[in-house]
Amino acid sequence: MLKCRIIPCLDVADGRVVKGINFVGLRDAGDPVEAAERYDKEGADELCFLDINATYQNRATTYSIVQKTAEKCFIPLTVGGGVRSSEDVRNLLLAGADKVSFNSAAVKNPDVISEAANRFGSQCIVCAIDAKAAPSGKWELFTHGGRKPTGIDAVEFAQLIEKKGAGEILLTSMDKDGTKSGFNLNMTRIISNAVTIPVIASGGVGNLDHLVDGVVRGGASAVLAASIFHFGEYTIDQAKKHMDKAGIPVRLNK
Amino acid sequence: MLTAIIDYSSGNLHSAQKAFEKITALNNLGSVVVTSDPQIISSADRLVLPGDGAFPSCKSELMSSEAYEAMVFSAVEKKRPFLGICVGMQLMAIKSYEYQETDGLGWIDGEVRKINPKDKSLKIPHMGWNTLKIESDHPIFKCIHNGDHVYFIHSFQMMIKKHEQRLAYTDYGTDITAVVGKENMVGLQFHPEKSGEIGLRIIENFLSWSP
């Protein structure tokens, strides 16, 4: 049976892991390569690096972190942040990423997804969707690390990028991110039901029950969390045992 | 001993290279090279054919690669141990129906078709950690047990016609072929280089195997 994936996310800026509240107010959480190794040992199912200020600064630090991590961790590694073109995808894959995540660039031009998927295969193309509740009751897509509203409906966009060849959606609720009050379950469920590709729930995890809710009530194929793991509140192993007890199939450490 | 990972411009070879390098260094199993050079491929003792992306484009890249003839000669005539990974495994089949009907290498009596689980709520691609159900005592499974987890990521799977060529499967609403084999050839649908300790052990088993 396919297991639900638990993915610790490392938001990286200037070579350090950081985690903000609602994408601002950053707190240092350590060396990304060391953190990745620790998560791998604890039983993480995948790793995710998001280069949160890549749009503005040069990528050399990120490539070096990806390269060092890929030499030590033999589990899938997704890298996102500032990815604009097939060439960026190629460079990250060559550095050792297994999947690359588009965000702002895919909103500006969804064909960048089809181009990258045709060249490298859908299996390595993730599209990150950052969305906020809109007054209409729908969810609006935001870009540029949550700073720029687009007026685009997140559900329609999810269906569009699936058609363009994305292999997976990383769905973050901007309202929930950093609040520790749990995922936006309604949005997660509606988007997960609207597409056939897997959806990773992200944004808002504050305790282990939130992870369970993301799968059971949100219908997510994978759950992503940052701060509950970075600051030592819970280990990945504790999270998995908790999910196992709740009846969710997980890959447990032997 | 030299292991050649065949580079035919398809997908991501970095992860496979790092994993094979780690295992060869730890166990004194020779060296690893990523190459499309026919002379190096001819001299290599073992061959690894990776592959990511769509079957037709992988097949045409492979056919137009200078590596192709040397690889086929080594695997078929010289019977050097051969390992296909993911689309590299699917290429070993008779044919694939991904996008269009495309001939494979024809080494394993199977056809590659879209995964079609009975439970329509199951997501495609089949992505993540799933358990092996082992059907053979092949040396590739040394120290590997039924129920061990490996990492899959694919939307198409190989349907096997000769049951003895399917060495392991996994369950995703339907039986999914996980490992195939015949004589000096083994193919893995999952990614051993992304499957943690279990995957590294399978790589070690391949590198230690004398068919």
pLDDT in tens, A55-75: 545 678 888 999 999 999 999
Is A36 at the interface with chain B, CB within 8 A?
no
pLDDT in tens, B62-94: 999 999 999 999 999 999 999 999 999 999 999
Eight-class DSSP state of A121: -
Residue A121 and residue B151: Cβ atoms within 8 Å? no
Give me the pLDDT at residue A250, please.
98
Give me the pLDDT at residue A21, please.
45
Is A70 at the interface with chain B, CB within 8 A?
yes
Give me the pLDDT at residue A29, please.
67
Residue A93 and residue B14: Cβ atoms within 8 Å? yes
Q: Which residues of chain A neighbour B125 with C-beta distances below 8 Å?
A: 122-123, 167, 197-198
By residue range, what is the domain housing residue B166? 2-208
pLDDT in tens, A191-248: 999 999 999 999 999 999 999 999 999 999 999 998 888 877 899 999 999 999 999 9
* Mean pLDDT computed over A99-104: 95
Q: For B131, which residue in chain A has the nearest alpha carbon?
A: A1
Is A94 at the interface with chain B, CB within 8 A?
yes
**Closest C-alpha to A92, from A57, A118, A125:** A125
Question: B103 vs chain A: nearest CA distance in angstroms?
Answer: 19
**In contact, A202 and A170? CB cutoff 8 Å:** yes
Question: B169 vs chain A: nearest CA distance in angstroms?
Answer: 11
Q: Integer distance in angstroms from the first to the last C-alpha of chain B?
A: 15
Give me the pLDDT at residue B64, please.
95
Task: Assign A149 to helix, strand or coil.
Answer: strand
Give me the pLDDT at residue A254, please.
54
Confidence of residue A23 (pLDDT cuts 50, 70, 90): very low
Give me the pLDDT at residue A60, please.
80
Give me the pLDDT at residue B51, please.
85
What is the ipTM score, two decimals?
0.92
pLDDT in tens, B149-193: 999 999 999 999 999 999 999 999 999 999 999 999 999 999 999
Res. B147: pLDDT tops 90: yes
User: Would you kindly state where each structural domain of chain A is located, as residue ranges?
Assistant: 5-245
Confidence of residue A22 (pLDDT cuts 50, 70, 90): very low
Catalytic residue status for A14: no
Higher pLDDT, B65 or B120: B65
Residue B75's domain is classified under what CATH number?
3.40.50.880
pLDDT in tens, A81-92: 989 999 999 889
Question: A194 vs chain B: nearest CA distance in angstroms?
Answer: 11
Conformation bin of residue B53: beta by default, left when phi > 0, alpha when psi is -120 to 50: left
Q: Integer distance in angstroms from the first to the last C-alpha of chain A?
A: 17
Q: Which residues of chain A neighbour B153 with C-beta distances below 8 Å?
A: 76, 123, 167
Whether the link from the prior residue into B50 is cis, omega within 30° of 0, is no
Q: Which of B15, B54, B122 sits opposite A98 (nearest CB)?
A: B15
Give me the pLDDT at residue A27, please.
57
Give me the pLDDT at residue B49, please.
96
Domain A5-245 has CATH 3.20.20.70: yes
Mean pLDDT (chain B, rounded): 95
Tokens of B149: 């987890």
Question: B209 vs chain A: nearest CA distance in angstroms?
Answer: 22
Percent of chain B with pLDDT over 70: 99
Give me the pLDDT at residue A28, please.
62
Q: Which residues of chain B neighbour A121 with C-beta distances below 8 Å?
A: 11, 52-54, 87
pLDDT in tens, A114-173: 999 988 888 899 999 999 999 999 999 998 877 889 999 999 999 999 999 999 999 999
Q: For A41, which residue in chain B has the nearest alpha carbon?
A: B196
Tokens of A17: 């892991």
Which residue type occupies B83? L
**Mutate: best of B153, B174, B198, partner A, most A CBs <10 A:** B153
**In contact, B16 and B23? CB cutoff 8 Å:** no
Residue A74 and residue B200: Cβ atoms within 8 Å? yes
Q: How many residues does chain B have?
A: 211
* Mean pLDDT computed over A21-49: 79
- The residue behind tokens 């084999």 is B181
Q: Which of B14, B126, B153 sits opposite A94 (nearest CB)?
A: B14
Q: How many domains does chain B have?
A: 1
Is A206 at the interface with chain B, CB within 8 A?
no
- Cα torsion A194, A2, A39, B145 to 10°: value is -170
Confidence of residue A253 (pLDDT cuts 50, 70, 90): low
Q: Which residues of chain A neighbour B22 with C-beta distances below 8 Å?
A: 74
Residue B19 and residue A5: Cβ atoms within 8 Å? no
**In contact, A52 and A17? CB cutoff 8 Å:** no
As a whole number of angstroms, the distance between CA A214 and CA A222 comes to 8
Q: For A44, which residue in chain B has the nearest alpha carbon?
A: B196
Give me the pLDDT at residue B13, please.
82
**In contact, B58 and B154? CB cutoff 8 Å:** no
Give me the pLDDT at residue B155, please.
92
- The residue behind tokens 């060529």 is B165
Give me the pLDDT at residue A24, please.
45
